[in-house]
Amino acid sequence: MGYSREVYEEAMAELDQRRMLARQKAAELRDRMVAKYPRILELEREMANAAIKVARAVLAGEDVDRAVEKIKNQNLMQQAELAEILAKEGIYTPNFEPRYHCPACQDTGVVNNKTCDCLKILLREIAYKRLSYPGMAKDMDFEKLRLDYYPNEPDSRTGIIPRRHMKEIIEYCKNYAEDFDCNSPSLLLRGATGTGKTHVSLSIAKVAIDKGFGVIYGPVQKLLHKIEKEHFGRADGNSEDMMIECDLLILDDLGTEFSSPFYTSCLYNLINSRILDGKPTIISTNFNQNELMERYGEQITSRIIGNFVPLTFVGKDIRQIRLRDKIHNNGE
Ligand SMILES: [Zn+2]
């Protein structure tokens, strides 16, 4: 896949940073060890002079093969002595070689004149991150979800106890995140505003990203707007392809975007392409099935209903409760 110049530049800067850091750490480690064990300097000097020693021996009339063999053995013993000193300190890399993030390309991004896999992964990560909305994911993880925000009394209309119900939903989503792979099912998180849908979907995103999966997440309105700008030539990029190809796509707050035939056809294309490719998508929405049908028509709604696992979020608006708590606490 082609990436923009900015993505390449950011990736190369990251590789430079990794390389520099690995070298700097190795140099610092060496300085520390040399200060503690001055013998290391002697050993290094002797090993560096091996070639000169061979030359001297030969000039002095020694047999070449024997001289090489002798120096080689000395060298091995010096290596072993150095390794032994370092092992005492729990260091197992010989000769203070930098420990690169990617040993294959030594953090240059190129191996055997080809783009190293680490650079491919990095490019993808950066491109997805640039498409996503990291601001909304701040502080969103399962640890920060509070069940006590959900009422513990049965709902007068449905009889459902929100706290108990949400405990099960969150448990399901935690397991979903832990077991996430490219064949995981798609999820439809539905329920009223402020019942934790965005928080849960971004918590899943966080776990999936930490596991190395390519995730794109954002409000539907913003993601579709990006595609629209590119489609009509007002911006460069291939956001739509990336949204189709990523391992997990999270469309937050479906139904709050502007209603337009272009957006509807984009949505259909995103959702349908990912279903055909067997890739998971998570949609959160305030809409129920009838409202989805009314807004998007049969084609999109039937794809969602037929292919997504529905999870219904219940409870009161958590944002309101948080706000009330804040005002209450500040008032004390
Ligand atoms: Zn590499």
pLDDT per residue as tens digits for the range 252-286? 999 999 999 999 999 999 999 999 999 999 999 99
d(CA 56, CA 268): 78
Strands 114-115 and 248-254: unpaired
Cα of 100 vs centre of ligand 1, distance in Å, is: 9
Give residue 245's domain range: 132-331
Cα of 21 vs centre of ligand 1, distance in Å, is: 15
Q: Please, is 92 exposed, middle or buried when counting C-beta atoms within 10 Å of its C-beta (0-12, 13-18, 19+)? A: exposed
Cα of 274 vs centre of ligand 1, distance in Å, is: 29
Residue 241 falls inside a structural domain: yes
Cα of 239 vs centre of ligand 1, distance in Å, is: 25
Both 136 and 113 in a single domain?
no
Residue 298 falls inside a structural domain: yes
Residue 123 falls inside a structural domain: no
Cα of 95 vs centre of ligand 1, distance in Å, is: 21
Both 141 and 288 in a single domain?
yes
CATH number at residue 177: 3.40.50.300
Cα of 83 vs centre of ligand 1, distance in Å, is: 26
Both 161 and 215 in a single domain?
yes
Both 193 and 300 in a single domain?
yes
Cα of 49 vs centre of ligand 1, distance in Å, is: 32
The residues with which 252 forms a beta bridge, in sequence order, are: 219
Q: What's the pLDDT tens digit per position in 211-266?
A: 989 999 999 999 999 999 999 988 888 899 999 999 999 999 999 999 999 999 99
Last residue of a domain, one of 89, 118, 147: 118
Residue 10 falls inside a structural domain: yes
Number of domains composing the chain: 2
Length of the chain: 332
**What is the reported pLDDT for 188?**
97
Cα of 2 vs centre of ligand 1, distance in Å, is: 19
pTM listed for this prediction:
0.77
